[in-house]
Amino acid sequence: MSLYDESLRLQEYYPFVTFYYYKEWQDFSMEMHEHDSVEIMYVMCGSCKIELEGETTQLKKGQFIIIDANVPHKLHVQSEKRCRMANVEFAFRPGATNYLTFKRVVEETPSLLQMISHYQPYLLFLDSNDIYACLKSVILELDKKGTSSDFMVQLLLSQLMIRISELANRNDHAPEQSLYNKKAVDFIHQNYDRDIRVKDIADAVHLHPGYLHRVFKETMGCSINDYLVMHRMKKAKELIAQTDIRITDIPYYIGVSSQQYFSTIFRKYTGQTPMEFRKEQQRLHLQSDDFINN
C-alpha cells in the first residue's frame, strides 16, 4: 500500500516492519525491483546511487531517502567506494488493534498529513541530527532476539515518521532549506549560460525535482524557473548596457537558444525591447558624460 493511499487517513491501519538491516556495501549493483513496502534508506557513511523514476540520485553521508511502495528502484555502490546504510521497510495492516493506528498519528500530526497529501515516488532529505537516532531505535528494538516488543516498534516507527514529516514540512527548518537553496542558486549562477532545466538543478543538490521546487518557492518566493529567467535577464541587461555584443548574439551568452523567446521575455521583464534598452543606456551614458564635462 502506498504511503499516500487515502485509506490510511480514513480507515484503521497500523504500520509494521517487513525488513530491516545495517549493512556495508562495496562493488554492489542491485537488480531493478519493487515491493509492497515503503522503504527508508539512510547513508551512515560513504555514498551510493539510487536509480528510480528514470533518474539516478546520489546519496551521501547524512542523507536518506523514502521510496514509496511499488516504485521500481535499484541500489548501486561503486567498486572503489564503500557505503554503510541503515534500512527499514514497512507496510500497513488493516483491522482493530491496541496499537496506535496510522490514522490516529496522522490526525495528531499536521506535518505528517501535509507530507502524505501530495504524492511523491520518493523523498530525499538531509538529516537534521535526530532522524538517524529515531531510525536506530527502531532497528535496535527489532534486533532484540525474542524480546522485541511489537508495541514498542509501533511507537518508535510512528515517532520516526513524525520526525521525518517535521523535517519535510515545517517552515522554520531554515538550515536545511537554506542549504538546498544556496546550492540551487550557486548552480544557476554558474550554469545560466547553458541549457539547464529544473532536473539538472535538482540532480546537483541531490533532491527530487518536485521537492526542490516546493522548498525553493516556499523560501525564495518564486519558482526555480522564474529565478533562472530573472538571473538571465539581469545578465542580459549587463551585456547590452556594458558591451558591444550584437543583440542577436546576446541570447547565446545567457543560455537561451531562441532570439524570439529572448526578445519576448526581455520585454516582459524590462518593458522594453533589447534594442530600446541599449539605446536608452547609450543616451543615459552620453548625458552622464556631458554632465561631467560641463
**For residue range 149-159, what is the model confidence (pLDDT) as tens digits?**
788 888 899 99
**For residue range 209-229, what is the model confidence (pLDDT) as tens digits?**
887 888 888 777 789 999 999
Is the pLDDT assigned to residue 293 strictly greater than 60? no
The pLDDT of residue 287: 66
CB under 8 A, 24+ apart: contacts of 262-269: 262/236, 265/229, 265/233, 266/233, 266/236, 269/229, 269/230, 269/233
Is the pLDDT assigned to residue 233 strictly greater than 60? yes
Backbone angles phi, psi at 263, to 5 degrees: -60, -40
Q: What would the mean pLDDT of 103-121 be, rounded to a whole number?
A: 89
Is the pLDDT assigned to residue 250 strictly greater than 50? yes
The pLDDT of residue 172: 43
Three-state SS sequence of the chain: CCCCCCHHHHCCEEEEEEEEEEEEEEEEECCCECCCCEEEEEEEEEEEEEEECCEEEEEECCEEEEECCCCCEEEEEEEEEEEEEEEEEEEEEECCCCCCCHHHHHHHCHHHHHHCCCCCCEEEEECCCCHHHHHHHHHHHHCCCCCCCHHHHHHHHHHHHHHHHHHHHCCCCHHHHHHHHHHHHHHHHHHCCCCCCHHHHHHHHCCCHHHHHHHHHHHHCCCHHHHHHHHHHHHHHHHHHHCCCCHHHHHHHCCCCCHHHHHHHHHHHHCCCHHHHHHHHHHHHHHHHHHHHC
Q: pLDDT band at residue 174, thresholds of 50, 70 and 90? A: very low
> CA dist 261 to 78, 230, 237, 268, Å?
42, 14, 15, 11
Q: Which of 75-79, 118-122, 166-170 has the highest mean pLDDT?
A: 118-122
**For residue range 181-194, what is the model confidence (pLDDT) as tens digits?**
888 998 999 999 99
The pLDDT of residue 6: 92
The pLDDT of residue 148: 62
In whole angstroms, what is the distance from residue 229 CA to residue 57 CA? 26
Phi-psi region of 43 (alpha: psi -120 to 50; beta: other; left: phi over 0): beta
Which one is predicted more confidently, 229 or 206? 229
Backbone angles phi, psi at 40, to 5 degrees: -115, 120
Model pTM score: 0.60
Is the pLDDT assigned to residue 291 strictly greater than 70? no
The pLDDT of residue 129: 61
Q: What would the mean pLDDT of 167-184 be, rounded to a whole number?
A: 66
Lowest mean pLDDT among 99-113, 255-269, 276-290: 276-290
Is the pLDDT assigned to residue 238 strictly greater than 50? yes
The pLDDT of residue 173: 45
The pLDDT of residue 96: 64
What one-letter code names the amino acid at 121? P
What percent of the chain has a predicted confidence (pLDDT) above 70?
90
Degrees, nearest 5: CA angle 247-252-257:
105
Pairing verdict, β 63-67 and 13-29: unpaired
Q: What would the mean pLDDT of 241-265 be, rounded to a whole number?
A: 93
Nearest to 216 by CA among 205, 224, 207, 208: 224
Nearest to 90 by CA among 159, 15, 160, 27: 15
Which residues have C-beta within 8 Å of that of residue 150, sequence separation ≥ 6?
A: 16, 99
Is the pLDDT assigned to residue 30 strictly greater than 60? yes
The pLDDT of residue 290: 52
Is the pLDDT assigned to residue 170 strictly greater than 60? no
Q: What would the mean pLDDT of 167-187 be, rounded to a whole number?
A: 70
Which one is predicted more confidently, 175 or 166? 166
C-alpha cell belonging to residue 44: 551512515
Nearest to 21 by CA among 86, 115, 79: 86
In whole angstroms, what is the distance from residue 62 CA to residue 182 CA? 18
**For residue range 64-94, what is the model confidence (pLDDT) as tens digits?**
999 999 999 999 888 677 899 999 999 998 8
